[in-house]
Amino acid sequence: MKRKFTVTALLVFFLGLSPEILSQSAGINFMMGFPQGDFKKSINRLGFGAEGFVTLWTVKPSIPFTLGVDGSFMTYGSESRNEPFSTTIPDVTVDVSRTNNIVNFHLLLQIMPPAGSIRPYIEGLWGGSYLYTQTQINSQGNVDKEVASSTNFDDWAWNYGGGGGLLIKVHDMKNDEDGTGSRWKVSSIWIDLKARYLLGSEAEYLKEGSMRIEQGRVLFTPSKSHTDLITAHLGVIIQFD
């Protein structure tokens, strides 16, 4: 009941904001992940992926911060092999690939100066990570033709953290002079450079070599640790009026 009340209160607050405040921004970027602490001892390799976010309003002189939601996907390991399609159809070969992935979901707070073509900022994040390993079968030599897939192992970790970055304006857009067009008009485009540190709770996960097949059975050797992670990002942000 308490959680339901909290979610309802937040929705009422956000929906009650005036249209003048709700000028949004949205961004997408390429990211690299660097496991830290025990997570690094277990994996000890870079992750690669993408991150995107939207904010509820663009920072203004009267409101030097913004709130939003953030999500990212990162792969931190993969394996592939060729196998016969089945014991009864050994003359058809398929590509078998396995990936170890992390999906992050966060509530986002950003604080930055409201003016200038170069804007440093800081941010805070709170949310969680979904760690999972997936095996996929594709027609041989055709990665776009999936035959079947399955999630082999998954777990959840809570995390929070912070970071900082730099916005560099690269283009200003002109508004529709006659007042026509969509409600949300693109006002500017920015390059986004940033880094984050996420402190994650314990989770179980697979890495390369954690799955093996013996006598037709799949055996798992999961690792368990905190899931601390540093990420570096390069991307683009669009701001709307």
Mean pLDDT, range 49-66, rounded to an integer: 90
Q: Burial level of 43, CB count in 10 A (0-12/13-18/19+)?
A: buried
Position 17 pLDDT exceeds 80:
no
Mean pLDDT, range 81-99, rounded to an integer: 78
Taking only the tens place, the pLDDT of each residue in 182-239 is: 556 888 999 999 999 999 999 999 988 888 877 778 888 999 999 999 999 999 999 8
- Residue 57 C-alpha from the chain's centroid: 21
pLDDT band with cut points at 50, 70 and 90 for residue 83: confident
| 62 CB neighbour count, 10 Å cutoff | 7
Coil, strand or helix: which one is 7? helix
What is the percentage of the chain residues whose pLDDT exceeds 70?
83
0.75 surpassed by pTM: yes
Mean pLDDT, range 83-87, rounded to an integer: 72
Position 7 pLDDT exceeds 90:
no
Residue that the structure tokens 């070599």 belong to: 209
CA distance 202 to 180: 52
Whole-number pLDDT of residue 9 = 46
Average pLDDT over the chain reads: 84
Q: What is the DSSP string of 104-159?
A: EEEEEEEE--SS-SEEEEEEEEEEEEEEEEEEEEEETT-TT-EEEEEEEEEEEEEE
Q: How many helices (H) and strands (E) does the chain have?
A: 2, 12
Whole-number pLDDT of residue 23 = 52
Whole-number pLDDT of residue 183 = 55
Asked whether the beta carbons of 24 and 210 are under 8 A apart, the reply is: no
Position 69 pLDDT exceeds 90:
yes
Percentages of the chain per state (helix, strand, coil), in multiples of 5: 10, 65, 30
Taking only the tens place, the pLDDT of each residue in 101-153 is: 999 999 999 999 999 999 999 999 999 999 999 988 887 766 566 678 889 99
Coil, strand or helix: which one is 98? strand
